[in-house]
Amino acid sequence: MKNYLLSIFIIFSFNVQGDSESNKASIDEMYKNFQNGSLDSFINHYVDLMDEDFTRWNGRYVGLGFTINQDDMTVISAERSPAIDHFKPGDKFITVNGIKAEPGVDNLPFKGAVGGVVDVTLERGGEIINVSMKRAVQTQTSSKDNMVAGFTNWSEEGWSNRPKMKTINPLIAEDNEVWGSFEMLWTNAEGREISMWTVERFVFNDKGLLTLHADLSEDLFVAEQNGYSLSLE
């Protein structure tokens, strides 16, 4: 019996090790496609790795829980509270906390302190509507369908100007997880070199497909390099 259990343990260990190495190879190929591959090769490999229940975790922020079209200052979607109870796709912003919402403006106070009040005047179907909400913690996630739809907006020009991976640490694989970390480098509109470290976590299922992709990045450091700083509301 002892020898039988030992054999089962050895077989299981080899299978886990094999899966870990296979998972690591999948992410290694993704990184290589990002560095040196074409737009199609990167997207196709990434999407092929996603299982149907895949989730992309994109971090957290404090805000209202909606997406905006900066070109015409309209609501694209409202999926989280409190925005989901007040906004509808196509709503056009007029003012936010008294600040005029003009196309391209990126400093409207949708984000800020948790619990902070945001007073919005918007236009919906020719009617002017006033709503008041309190900011809340928002978790940004995307499904496989969301990701595939988002990829349709990627362009060859944008791909050719993508940030470069300056430094890549060796991938770490254990059981069904793979961890990666790398430094990105790009040049901003003013010609300044900007860098950012990112740590990524990939979770695979027994089929060798991704169920989760999450990352943490130096967003505040990027803002500071571009001349922005935190301020007290």
pLDDT classification of 2: cutoffs 50, 70, 90: very low
- Residue tagged 């990434």 (tokens): 46
**Numbered ranges of CATH 3.10.450.50 in the chain:** 17-60+140-225
**Taking 60 as the threshold, does the pLDDT of residue 175 lie above it?**
yes
The CA distance from 148 to 196, in Å, is 25
- The answer for residues whose C-beta is within 8 angstroms of residue 214's C-beta and 6 or more apart is 56, 57, 200, 201
In percent, the amount of the chain with pLDDT more than 90 equals: 85
**Taking 90 as the threshold, does the pLDDT of residue 14 lie above it?**
no
The CA distance from 121 to 37, in Å, is 46
Highest mean pLDDT among 14-28, 99-113, 152-166: 152-166
Q: Alpha carbon of 39 to those of 18, 148, 187: distances in Å?
A: 29, 13, 20
- CATH architecture type of domain 65-134: Roll (2.30)
pLDDT digits (tens, 9 = 90+) for 68-126: 998 999 999 998 999 999 999 999 999 999 999 998 787 899 999 999 999 999 999 99
CATH C-level class of 17-60+140-225: alpha beta
Structure tokens at 207: 């089929």
**Numbered ranges of CATH 2.30.42 in the chain:** 65-134
**Taking 60 as the threshold, does the pLDDT of residue 192 lie above it?**
yes
Strands 177-187 and 92-96: unpaired
DSSP string, 214-233: EEEE-HHHHHHHTT------
For the beta carbon of residue 227, count every other beta carbon within 10 angstroms: 9
Has this prediction a pTM greater than 0.75?
Answer: yes
pLDDT classification of 18: cutoffs 50, 70, 90: low
Structure tokens at 233: 């509301």
